[in-house]
Amino acid sequence: MSQHTQTKRRMAPDITALKGVRPIVSLTAYHAHTAAIADKYCDFLLVGDSLGMVMHGHETTVPVPLELMVMHGRAVVRGAKQSLVVVDMPFGTYEESPSVAFRNCATVMKQTDCGAVKLEGGRRMAETIRYLVDRGVPVMAHIGLTPQSINVLGGFKAQGRTRPEWDALEEDARLVAEAGAFAVVLEAIAAPLAERITAAVPIPTIGIGASAACDGQILVMEDMLGLSPRVPKFVKEFGSIGAAIERAIAGYADEVRAGTFPTPDHSFAMREEAAKAGEPAAGRVTKKPKIPST
Ligand code: KIV
């Protein structure tokens, strides 16, 4: 297993420096416990606004408010110790003007302590990316299928599957790189175009449904764990956590109904009786190490 440890948390330039060196590994994370696990294997963790769909049951990412990103961003930063944590800027918080974008990005960085933000859009966001980077905000760009524009795109559709679309998408990648983005997510982009963009830009391309030609990969954690009810074609389920959760919950419900849980092992005797039986005095014995609670 490709677990790796390093003493210092990665920063945006560390991710850029991996281009051409080795594949970049990343996942989304929304809470502290899963972030702590993924942290051991990933170069960066993205607090994606996909959390609106995955965790909060929305149909799209459009309704996600800034406060929700801050709340989950804080949790992930607490859980992850070595990965760069990138927080997605939600719809409506950065498109209006570079100065509005800066104010909201600064809020996210101050309140979460994350190391970078991500925003969607190619050429239309280039000026904003330059403005943010010049003021100390590392930006990951996101082009191709940009879910916040779902209502304009008319659905979650792969991009660049016909040659006439190629030039505009390649130009998007080039312009965000020139504007100072430290990496760019290519979402649902036809494989040959993703390969061409990856060769054309000096920053890492992070693919999600954009082939192995990209410099790195990202997946939504719940999708690859087998926890999401529906997944896009580009997801491979590396686990079946949804089925494991259901088995555990069914087992719990059965035992409660049958009266076989809880047993005396899960209950508290009077202190005197416990001492006689040689049981520990502690109220709660934790078997697994806890994640830090700072
Ligand atoms: O919100 C998200 O999870 C994302 C990834 C799909 C890249 O933007």
Average pLDDT over residues 151-178: 96
Instruction: Give the number of the atom of ligand 1 that is nearest the alpha carbon of residue 54.
Output: 3
Instruction: Using most ligand atoms within 8 A of CB, pick from 24, 220, 228 the residue to mutate for ligand 1.
Output: 220
Give distance in angstroms: CA of 120 to centre of ligand 1. 10
- Asked whether the predicted pLDDT for residue 1 surpasses 70, the reply is no
3-state secondary structure at position 89: coil
Instruction: Give the number of the atom of ligand 1 that is nearest the alpha carbon of residue 28.
Output: 3
Burial of 248 (0-12, 13-18, 19+ CB in 10 A): exposed
Is 256 a member of any domain? no
How many other C-beta atoms are found inside a 10 Å radius of the C-beta of residue 26? 25
Instruction: List ligand 1's pocket residues with C-beta within 6 A.
Output: 28, 46, 48-50, 88, 142, 185, 187, 208, 218, 220
Is 288 a member of any domain? no
Residue 286 — very low, low, confident or very high, per pLDDT cuts 50/70/90? low
Give distance in angstroms: CA of 185 to centre of ligand 1. 8
Instruction: Using most ligand atoms within 8 A of CB, pick from 60, 86, 206, 218 the residue to mutate for ligand 1.
Output: 218
Number of structural domains in the chain = 1
Is 285 a member of any domain? no
Residue 19 — very low, low, confident or very high, per pLDDT cuts 50/70/90? very high
Whose C-alpha lies nearest to ligand 1, atom 1? 48
pTM: 0.92
> 120, 170, 187, 195: which is the annotated catalytic residue?
187
Q: What is the pLDDT of residue 287?
A: 58
Q: How far apart are the C-alpha atoms of 109 and 74, rounded to whole Å?
A: 10
Give distance in angstroms: CA of 68 to centre of ligand 1. 15
Residue 227 structural domain: 12-242
CATH of the domain at 69: 3.20.20.60
DSSP string, 195-221: HHHHHH-SS-EEEESS-TTSSEEEE-H
Whose C-alpha lies nearest to ligand 1, atom 5? 48
Instruction: Using most ligand atoms within 8 A of CB, pick from 15, 53, 88 the residue to mutate for ligand 1.
Output: 88
pLDDT tens digits, 95-120: 999 999 999 999 999 999 999 999 99
Taking the CA atoms of the chain, what radius of gyration do you get in angstroms? 22
Active-site residue 187, yes or no? yes
pLDDT tens digits, 236-269: 999 999 999 999 999 999 999 999 999 999 999 9
Whose C-alpha lies nearest to ligand 1, atom 2? 48
pLDDT tens digits, 186-237: 999 999 999 999 999 999 999 999 999 999 999 999 999 999 988 999 999 9
Give distance in angstroms: CA of 119 to centre of ligand 1. 10
Instruction: Give the number of the atom of ligand 1 that is nearest the alpha carbon of residue 49.
Output: 1
**Tokens 């076989």, residue located:** 260
Kindly state the tokens that stand for 215. 């410099």
Contacts of 281 (CB under 8 A, 6+ apart): 271, 274, 275
Regarding beta strands 183-187 and 44-47, do their DSSP bridges make them parallel or antiparallel, or are they unpaired?
Answer: unpaired
Q: What is the pLDDT of residue 294?
A: 43
